[in-house]
Chains A and B, each alone.
Chain A
Amino acid sequence: MSDQFIIGGKSLTSRLFIGTGKYSTDALIPEIIKKSGSQVITVALRRVDFNSSTGNVMNHIPKAMQLLPNTSGARNAQEAIRIARLAKAAGYGNWIKIEVISDNKYLLPDGYETIKATEVLAGEGFVVLPYISPDLMVAKKLVEVGAAAVMPLGAPIGTNRGLKTKELLKILIEEISLPVIVDAGIGKPSDACEAMEMGAAACLLNTAIASANAPAVMAEAFGLAVAAGRKAYLAGLGSSQQYANASSPLTGFLDD
């Protein structure tokens, strides 16, 4: 079955995007990449030392990986735009994950500032993947201003709580023509599998792998779960019913 996944002109075979934060050592990253099968990796620019080759997370990322620099730390559109331009100038390509957070308590994204940053950066030729709350109107605006995908959260970032926003994610998947990548909140491989079964185009996760006791093994588990969920989606899930229908207590009289 042909199942092409293309973002920003790049064809991907893996639908699992991974992160680089929270590891006890960056030296784990190559093994995580290998075991997960992921082809896209996000990196917080705030953590990258542009001037030093030692202690630089970039040294641990194979050239073949698609880099997805993110604007973590940006509190408004202007800061996100500056970070994106810095990333491009530093030679990290033209993909950018817009993350604008002006709420340090729950780390929920700022939709309005995200739209503004996306519009400017898409106009400059960036492949923009904005991180958002699963808000249909925000997602629609992002389509209009040139985003390459939308990345709604399943639960607040770093919480490992799973698909708490499931009903809203379903609406986005139904209504948005761009790939919907579930980003944040995924805690277990079964969460990722469920998102893929629902028709999400991909999943992005970091904490669930980085905080596992055996991160590389967990990375492999997520790779398998995402692939299984996608396959189930393509196969077409059988409909499930809440009530058995062996007899017809309410309409049986019609046949009498």
Chain B
Amino acid sequence: MSFYDEYLAYSDAMLTAALVETTGEQVLKIIGKERLTPMDFLALLSPAAEAHLELMAQKAYALTVQHFGRVILLYTPMYLSDYCTNQCTYCGFNATNTFTRKQLTMVEVAREAQNIAATGLKHILILTGDAPKIAGISYIKDCVKILKKYFSSIAIEVYAMEREEYASLIEAGVDSMTLYQETYNSQIYDTLHVKGPKKDYSYRLDAPERACKAGMRSVNVGALLGLDNWRKDGFFTGVHADYLQNKYSEIEISISLPRIRPTMGNYDEPLQVTDKNMVQFMTAFRLFMPRAGITLSTRERAEFRNHAIKLGITKMSAGVNTAVGGHSDNQENSGQFAISDTRNVKEMCEAIYKLGYQPIYKDWQML
């Protein structure tokens, strides 16, 4: 049994019906509950729940302060390679996009690491495209070997792998993994992923579980909001996290809420996801999984991120550049997507303190 079986238990028609039929009265009752079922979580994602957003926000705030305190963990992504064999219509690294691809040499990795470490950050997220023959396990391991000298926690956001491959990266020093399903709607998924290994929906869906089985310390899932109805993708993100947390209680399970941003790709028809929708998703999830981390990236505007700090977010990126080598040279480069919040680490820290919160640089010590 994997999450795919649980996914199949929820038909699209059933979700649509439940979202439409939820009443405000039901929502109020659920907000008052101590423990929520997956169907309660779905009700909080319904249009009817929008009328009670302030109440959801207040509870989300109280739960987050209680379980996490007034702190925000900071990290930054480092793009190692933008070679990619996939054709994902919404992504800047799409194999059909013509631009000069780049992969960092070990000297460049060290230079990027030095520049990031100089800002004080201790948590790094490394990213590659999906090109195992160029940026495969051994390349990533070589990078990790260098990064270990500069950072106390190394996370990967790379292509979906086998359990043994995750295990070998853990052995090398990786402790966390992030993998977005992009959309949980398998039909839309099939349309958007034109070609490449990523086209295999269920192989990707079960990758976070393979990372859990391999012994990763923390595993982060998410959907690229705007590819399908955010209420459904939000729901599946939550039940995916819940499934993993129930099955692998020793692992810290968290979610991200990436909202689609313009890229150099040709995907120009995202479904609308408003700020209000984002707030509904993050607060509903906090009520559903009070102890799970929530990450919000620089895809979001500075002003929105400032507000979100009090709505359940526990981890944020800062000083971000989504281009390979972007932390070392400032030349115009083609990133994976356009960021919104351009604040550097120092500016981000000042903003967090101003909101009555403390930025945290380190929350794990490599053992």
Contacts and interface: CB of A to CB of B under 8 A. Distances in A.
Interface residues of A, number: 32
A186 to B, nearest CB: 13
Nearest to A22: B69
A45 B249 contact: no
A16 B56 CA distance: 35
B61 to A, nearest CB: 11
A48 interface: yes
A104 B70 contact: no
A40 B273 CA distance: 49
A25 B120 CA distance: 17
A158 B360 CA distance: 19
Contacts of A104: 245, 249-253, 291
A36 interface: no
B120 A73 contact: no
SS of B interface (majority): loop
Contact of B358 (A24, A49, A83): A24
B304 interface: no
B3 interface: no
B362 A49 contact: yes
Interface string A55-86: 10000000000000000010100010011001
B252 A24 contact: no
Contact of B70 (A22, A47, A54, A79): A22
Interface in A1-52: 21-26, 45-50, 52
18 contacts: A21-B69, A22-B69, A22-B70, A24-B70, A24-B71, A24-B358, A25-B358, A26-B358, A46-B362, A47-B360, A47-B363, A86-B365, A104-B245, A104-B249, A104-B250, A104-B291, A105-B249, A210-B70
Interface of A: 21-26, 45-50, 52, 54-55, 73, 75, 79, 82-83, 86, 102-105, 107, 158-160, 207, 210-211
Given A49-B152, A105-B249, 17 more contacts: A24-B70, A24-B71, A25-B353, A46-B365, A48-B362, A48-B365, A49-B361, A49-B362, A55-B361, A82-B367, A102-B249, A104-B252, A104-B253, A105-B291, A158-B66, A159-B66, A211-B69
